């Protein structure tokens, strides 16, 4: 009766075919394709391992949404900063986090990138500019500002990119972060991945404006930007533009990337709260087959693409083996790294 | 009697009260159509409709503001904050507004509201989704604070919390949601401020809360069987009001107090109980006052680490045993 | 060197003379004039008593800003709800709070409206719909929503009016409250009293848009409304319109009333951080002499106005006497009214 | 030596550190041009300029987010949250982000930052501007927590806090701002985690913090003079790390412990100290462990009430006297 799945569907836009002829180097496109494959295959495996109860707790997958992470990853400088949410696997991998330690972290092993302390929701790899995955809505937008402020003060030219969901635009921290970013002209790009749902609630039912991020850009003196988040090229171009401007001192940007998650919000969520027609329409707009077709159209050989796919599959297998071979962390690790001296000593 | 899971008991308690009081409303993120991320509010939307059971934006301050403003103008409210860790994003609403406004206005306003939230660890959710923050609430004057450990107590304390004219923070333990227990099929109404002696004993008192209660009970059984140590286990249930009578009477009998708490070590509710006993029952004591707590660390995600962090049956057993030796 | 008082002044608009011929009953106007006088004279006295150290702690005065409170007070129904900030004396009096208990509260006496427990920053009189003065920025916007939601559910037709400052528009709670108000179509009117400064910092230096409230209305699907907050008639008309629409189910409104405080932010703040020219220009736009002149122009006799002024002066004197005659609250009061049973018992 | 007020000592401590480390920055509401609402940052803007001393919007979450993000990427930060009551509006940043991120990332990030805030009562500011919330900070694993009681300690602990690679919550007491004391004119650097025995004694230990320190000292003097009771007074200074050695050694000597705390009664830092002593020094104790606290109420605004609420010299005197009898 009060089932959201009977609501009208929100359908994706058709693919913008002009993107095929956009001025993007073919090598860049191939590496974006590899990135898409990495994110997809890694997360499918993570989901399998979750269903096998090897990954405990929870996971939040970006299946269907990979174009955003891959497009941005390609446009960023190695020393730029990424801030992500609990839905952060894709962003971590897109910045170059190694798959083995990433997978081991999901399995709670001591060879995980966080030694098992963080888990799926907190992937971080400072050596790659992946400054963390944050599991409480809103906070990391404010923290991203801080990294951008630091880069500004150090004159390093680094740009910070901060990803978050549509639902996140309704929390107070969003507002505080965007205002401060503009007032201080910080080199930060805020990217709203609008997948139309917060957890299980459709975003339009609980938001005062149709485009939760873009329709609010003016509140912060920013341009309203919407990009097709399922088109890696469109994302790559928008990312390049915003990042380039920020790097030159042009201040922050707010980009709304429209996309959709193929699966549920987290764990084993079957996502039945969505109209079937909507799910199917977006499945047709899956970024990977589309990009595959585009690359073929641009003259890349089918064999080259399938070899990328096979390479990635082997990497994911290896990462899985690496992870499974890891030890479960022991008592010693429990009490380390609360404080910078490496300990958790709060008394003498 | 019906056998319910703890998670069903949450919904049953809310439903019982919404049937009784047609002005009672509920709100929170994903609580309506989805029945809550922990499925603790399943069926309520269908029974009570979208005016009384509301899905909200991710706006915890607005959620609690709505609860506060409505309750102070005649509409009692149950608000859900999905995970208790998120109390931090609306802490001002709780600690500074809801808790203090009655006093600041010399009693002009009342806040018949309940803030329900999923508390506690052992679900491998990591540092930002696993905290036990009952001590955060206990330390704020003006709040009442409960944390049931069984389905029957969940229904009874939910009813008591809803009917109480003061704001109540209601901690539901995530790792108890799947546990089962008998719940009377008649109307169930408990009382805030009553601890329960869930096991009688004479050698030591162990005070526990929520998930720590079954663990304390299991440890007590083993201590009895393996060591002949007779442990009295108190389910504290209500931190505010606090049933100090039951606690002090028990310590008078046993002469020893242990607390088992999931919140991190410093300034936990255990420290409060210890301090009360250390002042008021000092001359009854036969040995040190001992806290068994999660260490003073954020909770790790890995199962092996989390199991080491939160007080286990073994740790309770060993601590009591070695301390009574 | 980094003195804000050397910045360019932000000058008031000239009085809109068309307001004189607005369709407002002359009796209503006279009662607005009385209200202006009450707010002004009460607060001047409060300031004197502060300087005499009879009022301890702090006060935040609305001197110069009275037209907002008086205009809204006149447009509200007796059972409507007001939510105010620590700068709440004017709003409390405009809703009919008695001056004696109000003044006694400032003096910390047991005959104060809050028995001395709340003080200047928390004036509340539920019997008049004055639902509280809140001293932590932002929260009360969310609470105001709750009262509006309650009225909506009870079908009472009550409207909630929530006042706050320009600086408040940059805190997260503002954003959360406005969004929820619109999504639920709550009968609530948010009023930003833009007096150009937060405490000592000019609002434009720390805000991404020139009009901190009006330029953000679109983020919440609301109309952008700016009103001359120094013109009681303009305020009264804007208030009536927004309140009337809310009462009929038309949902929330956000109004930015531009105004200026004559004095400092609080206590004995000399407000030297403001350009002298600015202070003087706004002094010329003081609402009270302006309104006095307008009423004379509308044919009200000088004598009638001065008799209002004298009546009010007598009321303020009486209130001061009442307050000074009050006892200091004793130990018994200390431990009452934490809980609804009247006690502070947290244990048995 | 120079005589400084406590408020001047705050600015002096910050200035000393900003001179030493050109990368250190400061931000907060009205901290720059106005020199802070309590005038604790006067002169810093002029000396260090607007890039290093920044006025912010009223956006506490953004302030602490800026501090966190900057500190984790190489820029150490001092952030001001004007009143400690307002920590509630940015509690998520403190309790869930800043405190936990080092552990969650297994040490990949450090947070060399200091959050300064005006804490405590006796200024007649009412329930939302007078709280002592040092226990809020103490209960969160990952934070360090200090609260100086003198101008000299203020400079020394400020320097220590700034140089510490971990996040430090620095509580400045509003009702001490006007007090004066000698401060060395050379560089002053203290150490976190060291309590100070500010008065030696043999009959009882009284542990106090911030504004409670001078009150405890005065009570101790009177107890000596009027009752011949010799009280040892410890200025705890640093709640985390906590100097349990000094505390336990003192109790070993005196056999009695009293705590004097301004935070409301339940789950305060006093309960923590009592619990440590009640477990580890139980056999040294000659009598009950006694807390002297603000009652568990919001603070009232009226001077007469506030004076009754916060522990006074008289109350400390009477409590110790009657308890030792
Ligand atoms: C402050 C806070 N409130 C609620 C949650 C629970 N929660 C986790 S994810 C989520 C939905 C987020 O939606 P959105 O921002 O659209 O991101 P998406 O998951 O769709 O990527 C919610 C409500 C949280 N983590 N933090
Ligand atoms: C959360 C919070 N941060 C800071 C303060 C301190 N403070 C009190 S009033 C004020 C300025 C408010 O400015 P504005 O909203 O413009 O209101 P005005 O005082 O000008 O009426 C500040 C920063 C507070 N009370 N609450
Ligand atoms: Mg989403
Ligand atoms: Mg202002």
B142 to chain D: which residues are within 8 Å by CB?
297-298
User: Is residue B1 predicted with pLDDT exceeding 90?
Assistant: no
Q: Does the CB of B86 have a partner CB in chain D at under 8 Å?
A: yes
Q: Is the CB of C322 within 6 Å of ligand 2? A: no
Residue A263 is part of a domain; what is its CATH number? Answer: 3.40.50.970
Q: How far apart are the first and last CA of chain C?
A: 61
| CA pseudo-torsion sign C188, C193, C196, C198 | negative
Distance from CA of D165 to the nearest CA of A (A): 6
Cβ of C83 under 8 Å from any chain A Cβ? no
Q: Dump pLDDT digits (tens) for D201-257.
A: 999 999 999 999 999 999 999 999 999 999 999 999 999 999 999 999 999 999 999
Contact present, D100 and D142 (Cβ < 8 Å):
yes
> How is D210-271 classified by DSSP, letter by letter?
TTHHHHHHHHHHHIIIII---EEEEE--EEETB-HHHHHHHHHHHS-EEEEEEEESTT-HHH
- Kindly list the structural domains of chain B, giving each domain's residue range(s) and its CATH number in brackets, ordered by start: 2-183 (3.40.50.970), 196-324 (3.40.50.920)
Q: Answer yes or no: do B301 and A120 touch at CB < 8 A.
A: yes
Strand partners, A83: A162
| pLDDT class of D146 with cuts at 50, 70, 90 | very high
Is C13 a member of any domain? no
Instruction: Tell me the best of A165, A175, A197, A267 to mutate to test the pocket of ligand 1, counting ligand atoms within 8 Å of each CB and taking the most.
Output: A165
CA dihedral A287, A288, A291, A295 (to 10 degrees): 180
Residue B221, class by beta-carbon neighbours within 10 Å (0-12 exposed, 13-18 middle, 19+ buried)? middle
| Cβ–Cβ contact D138 with B under 8 A | yes
| Cβ A264 under 6 angstroms from ligand 1 | no
Using one digit for the tens of pLDDT, what is the confidence trace for A170-194?
A: 999 999 999 999 999 999 999 999 9
Query: Does A64 sit in the ligand 1 pocket, CB within 6 Å?
Result: no
pLDDT in tens, C180-237: 999 999 999 999 999 999 999 999 999 999 999 999 999 999 999 999 999 999 999 9
Instruction: Output the pLDDT for position C268.
Output: 80
Give pLDDT tens digits for C221-280: 999 999 999 999 999 999 999 999 999 999 999 999 999 999 999 988 889 999 999 999
- The tens digit of pLDDT for each residue in D67-96 reads 999 999 999 999 999 999 999 999 999 999
Kindly indicate the confidence band of residue A267, based on its pLDDT and cuts at 50, 70 and 90. Answer: confident
Give the span between the Cα atoms of B263 and B210, in whole angstroms.
11
Q: Which class for A174: exposed (0-12), middle (13-18), buried (19 or more C-beta within 10 A)?
A: buried
Phi, psi values for residue C31, rounded to 5°? -70, -30
Share of chain D above pLDDT 90, in %: 99
Q: Contact D134/D209 with Cβ under 8 angstroms?
A: yes
CA distance C88 to B139: 29
What would the two tokens of residue D184 be? 């060395």
CB B80 less than 6 A from any atom of ligand 1:
no
3-state secondary structure of A163: strand
Answer yes or no: is C15 within a domain. no
- Sort C241 into a burial class: Cβ within 10 Å, 0-12 / 13-18 / 19+: middle
C-alpha span between D85 and B99 (Å, rounded)? 13
Distance D148 CA to ligand 4 centre (A): 33
How many A from CA of C187 to the centre of ligand 3? 29
Give the separation between CA A68 and CA A259, rounded to whole angstroms. 8
CA angle (B134 as vertex; B129, B140 as ends), nearest 5: 125
Please indicate if any CB of chain C lies within 8 Å of the CB of B110.
yes
CA A320, A325, A331, A335 torsion-angle sign: negative
pTM here is 0.98
Task: Scan for tokens 């109309």, then name that residue.
Answer: C223
pLDDT surpasses 80 at A239: yes
What confidence score (pLDDT) does residue D185 get?
A: 92
Residue A338 included in any domain = no
- Write down the pLDDT at residue D325: 85
Decide if A201 touches C, using CB distance below 8 A. Answer: no
**Chain D residues lying within 8 Å of C270, measured CB to CB:** none
Nearest CA in chain D to B95: D88
Q: Which domain holds residue C302?
A: 30-327
Q: Which ligand is nearest to the CA of C60?
A: 2
| CA distance linking residue B72 with residue B67, whole number of Å | 8
Residues of chain B contacting residue D278, judged by C-beta atoms under 8 Å apart = 274-275, 278, 288-289
Read off the tokens for C194: 């833009």
- At what angle are helices C172-183 and B60-71 packed, to 10 degrees? 70
Count CA within 13 A, CB hemisphere, residue A220. 30
pLDDT at residue D42 in the model: 97
Rounded Cα gap, residues C7 and D105, in angstroms: 46
B92 CB near a chain D CB, below 8 Å?
yes
For chain D, the first-to-last Cα distance in angstroms comes to: 43
Mind telling me the catalytic residues of B? 60, 129
- Over the stretch D157-213, which tens digit does the pLDDT of each residue have? 999 999 999 999 999 999 999 999 999 999 999 999 999 999 999 999 999 999 999
Subunits close to C (at least 3 CB pairs below 8 A): A, B, D
Cβ(C87) – ligand 2 distance below 6 Å: yes
**What is the C-alpha separation between C14 and B155, in angstroms, rounded?**
64
Shortest-distance ligand to the CA of residue D80: 2
Instruction: Return the pLDDT at A296.
Output: 98
Place of tokens 């080491």: B308
Residues B177, B184: Cα–Cα separation, whole Å: 18
Where chain C has pLDDT below 50, the residues are none
Average pLDDT, integer, range B72-95: 98
Nearest chain B CA: its distance from D272 CA (Å): 5
Query: Token digits for B295?
Result: 């260490």
Residues of D in contact with C207 (CB under 8 A): 57
Whether the per-residue pLDDT at D50 is higher than 60: the answer is yes
Q: Min CA distance, C220 vs chain B (Å)?
A: 13
Residue in A with minimal Cα distance to D163: A340
Annotation says D296 is catalytic:
no
Q: What whole-number distance in Å separates Cα of residue B108 and Cα of residue C113?
A: 10
* Residue C257, ligand 2, Cβ within 6 A: no
Chain-chain contact of B304 with A116 (C-beta, under 8 angstroms): yes
**Which distant-in-sequence residues (6+ apart) come within 8 Å of A178 by Cβ?**
A141, A190, A216, A219, A220, A222, A252, A254, C208
Under an 8 A CB cutoff, do C137 and D58 touch? yes
Stretch (H or E) spanning A131: strand A130-134
User: Closest residue (by CA) to atom 9 of ligand 2?
Assistant: C199
**SS3 sequence of chain C:** CCCHHHCCCCCCCCCCHHHHHCCCCHHHHHHHHHHHHHHHHHHHHHHHHHHCCCCCCCCCCCCCCHHHHHHHHHHCCCCCEEEEECCCHHHHHHCCCCHHHHHHHHCCCCCCCCCCCCCHHHCCEHHHCEEEEECCCCHHHHHHHHHHHHHHHHCCCCCEEEEEEHHHHHCHHHHHHHHHHHHCCCCEEEEEEECCECCCCEHHHHCCCCCCCHHHHHHHCCCCEEEECCCHHHHHHHHHHHHHHHHCCCCCEEEEEECCCCCCCCCCCCCCCCCHHHHHHHHCCCHHHHHHHHHHHCCCCHHHHHHHHHHHHHHHHHHHHHHHHCCCCCHHHHCCCCCCCCCCCCEC
- pLDDT category, B316, cuts 50, 70, 90? very high
Residue A171 CA to ligand 2 center (angstroms) comes to: 20
Q: Is C135 in the pocket of ligand 2 (CB under 6 A)?
A: yes
d(CA C161, CA C242): 10
Contacts across the B-D interface (CB distance below 8 Å): 152
H-helix segments, chain A:
26-51, 66-75, 89-94, 99-106, 139-154, 172-183, 232-247, 276-284, 287-297, 302-325, 331-334
pLDDT-based confidence at A2, cuts 50/70/90? confident
Chain A positions in Cβ-Cβ contact with residue C171 (cut-off 8 Å): 172, 175-176
Q: Indicate if ligand 2 lies below 6 Å from the C-beta of D58.
A: yes
Contact C146 B142 (CB under 8 A): no
- C66's CB contacts (< 8 A; 6+ apart) are C35, C36, C39, C40, C90, C287, C288
C207 vs A contacts (CB less than 8 Å): 179, 183
Cα–Cα distances (Å) from C162 to B189, C114, C136, in that order, read 38, 21, 14
Cα A229 to averaged position of ligand 3 atoms, centre (Å): 13
Comparing CB atoms, the residue among B135, B300, B301 nearest residue D139 is: B135
- Name residue, tokens 């709203």: A192
Task: Give me the phi and psi of C217, to 5 degrees please.
Answer: -55, -40
Number of domains in chain A: 1
Residue with CA at minimum distance from ligand 1 atom 10: A199
SS3 A228: strand
Q: Which residues on adjacent β-strands are paired with residue D242?
A: A347
Q: Is the pLDDT of residue D1 over 90?
A: no
Instruction: Closest CB to A114: pick one of D51, D66, D104.
Output: D104
Taking CA–CA distances from B145, the nearest residue in chain C reads: C346
Confidence of residue A1 (pLDDT cuts 50, 70, 90): low
Residues of D in contact with C205 (CB under 8 A): 55
- The pLDDT value recorded for residue B37 is 96
Specify the pLDDT at position C1.
52
Instruction: Find out whether A185 and A191 touch, Cβ atoms under 8 Å.
Output: no
- The ligand that comes nearest to the alpha carbon of residue A65 is 1
**Interface pTM, i.e. ipTM:** 0.98
pLDDT single digits (tens) D278-305: 999 999 999 999 999 999 999 999 999 9
CA D152 to CA D183: how far, in whole Å? 5
Question: C329, C226, C283, C271: which is closest to C60 by C-alpha?
Answer: C271
Distance CA D230, CA D182 (A): 27
CB atoms within 10 A of CB C305: 18
* C-alpha span between A138 and A135 (Å, rounded): 9
Q: Which ligand is nearest to the CA of B63?
A: 1
From the CA of A135, how far away is ligand 1's center (Å)? Answer: 8
Q: C4 in a domain, yes or no?
A: no
Q: State which residues have CB under 5 angstroms from ligand 4, the bound ion.
A: C 165-167, 195
């Amino acid at each position: 009766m009060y089932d959201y799945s009977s609501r009208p569907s929100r359908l994706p836009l058709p693919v913008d075919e002009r993107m095929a002829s956009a001025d993007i180097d073919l090598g860049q496109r191939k590496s974006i394709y590899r990135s898409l494959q990495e994110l997809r295959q890694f997360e499918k495996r993570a989901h399998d391992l979750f269903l096998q109860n090897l990954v405990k707790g929870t996971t939040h997958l970006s299946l269907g949404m990979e174009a955003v992470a891959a497009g941005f990853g390609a446009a960023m400088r190695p020393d730029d900063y990424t801030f992500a949410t609990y839905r952060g696997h894709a962003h971590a991998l897109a910045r170059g986090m190694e798959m083995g330690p990433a997978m081991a972290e999901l399995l709670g092993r001591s060879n995980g990138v966080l030694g098992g302390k963080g888990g799926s929701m907190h992937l971080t790899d400072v050596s790659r500019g992946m400054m963390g995955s944050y599991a409480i809505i809103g906070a990391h937008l404010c923290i991203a500002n801080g990294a951008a402020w630091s880069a500004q003060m150090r004159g390093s030219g680094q740009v910070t990119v901060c990803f978050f969901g549509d639902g996140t635009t309704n929390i107070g921290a969003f507002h505080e972060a965007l205002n401060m970013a503009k007032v201080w002209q910080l080199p930060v790009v805020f990217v709203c991945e609008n997948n139309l749902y917060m957890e299980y609630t459709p975003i339009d039912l609980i938001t005062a404006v149709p485009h939760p991020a873009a329709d609010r850009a003016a509140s912060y003196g920013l341009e309203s930007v919407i990009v097709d988040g399922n088109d890696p090229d469109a994302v790559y171009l928008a990312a390049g533009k915003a990042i380039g401007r920020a790097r030159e001192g042009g201040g922050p940007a707010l980009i709304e990337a429209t996309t959709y998650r193929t699966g549920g919000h987290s764990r084993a969520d079957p996502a039945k709260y969505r109209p079937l027609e909507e799910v199917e329409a977006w499945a047709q707009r899956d970024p990977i087959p589309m990009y595959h077709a585009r690359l073929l159209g641009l003259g890349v050989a089918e064999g080259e693409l399938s070899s990328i796919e096979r390479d990635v599959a082997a990497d994911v297998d290896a990462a899985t083996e690496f992870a499974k071979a890891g030890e479960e962390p022991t008592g010693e690790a429990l009490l380390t790294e609360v404080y910078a001296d490496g300990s958790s000593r709060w008394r003498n | 009697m019906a056998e319910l899971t703890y998670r069903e008991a949450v919904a049953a308690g809310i439903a019982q009260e919404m049937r009784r009081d047609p002005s009672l409303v509920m709100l929170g993120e994903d609580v309506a159509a989805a029945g809550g991320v922990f499925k603790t509010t399943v069926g309520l939307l269908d029974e009570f409709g979208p005016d009384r059971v509301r899905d909200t934006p991710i706006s915890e301050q607005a959620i609690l503001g709505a609860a506060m403003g409505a309750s102070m103008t005649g509409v009692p409210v149950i608000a859900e904050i999905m995970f208790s860790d998120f109390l931090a994003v609306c802490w001002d609403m709780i600690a500074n507004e809801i808790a203090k406004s009655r006093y600041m206005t010399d009693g002009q306003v009342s806040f018949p509201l309940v803030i329900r939230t999923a508390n506690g660890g052992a679900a491998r959710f990591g540092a930002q989704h696993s905290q036990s923050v009952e001590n955060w609430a206990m330390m704020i004057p003006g709040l009442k604070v409960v944390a049931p450990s069984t389905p029957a107590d969940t229904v009874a304390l939910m009813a008591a919390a809803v009917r109480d004219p003061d704001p109540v923070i209601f901690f539901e333990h995530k790792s108890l949601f799947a546990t089962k227990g008998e719940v009377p099929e008649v109307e169930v109404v408990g009382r805030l401020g009553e601890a329960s002696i869930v096991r009688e004993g004479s050698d030591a008192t162990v005070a526990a809360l929520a998930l720590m209660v079954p663990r304390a009970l299991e440890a007590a059984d083993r201590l009895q069987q393996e060591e002949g140590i007779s442990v009295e286990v108190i389910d504290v249930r209500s931190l505010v009001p606090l049933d100090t009578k039951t606690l002090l009477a028990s310590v008078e009998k046993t002469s020893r107090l242990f607390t088992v708490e999931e919140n991190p070590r410093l300034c936990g509710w255990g420290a409060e109980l210890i301090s009360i006993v250390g002042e008021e029952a000092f001359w009854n004591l036969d040995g040190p006052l001992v806290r068994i707590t999660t260490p003073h660390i954020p909770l790790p995600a890995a199962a092996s680490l989390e199991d080491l962090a939160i007080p286990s049956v073994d740790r309770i057993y060993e601590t009591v045993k070695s301390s009574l030796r």
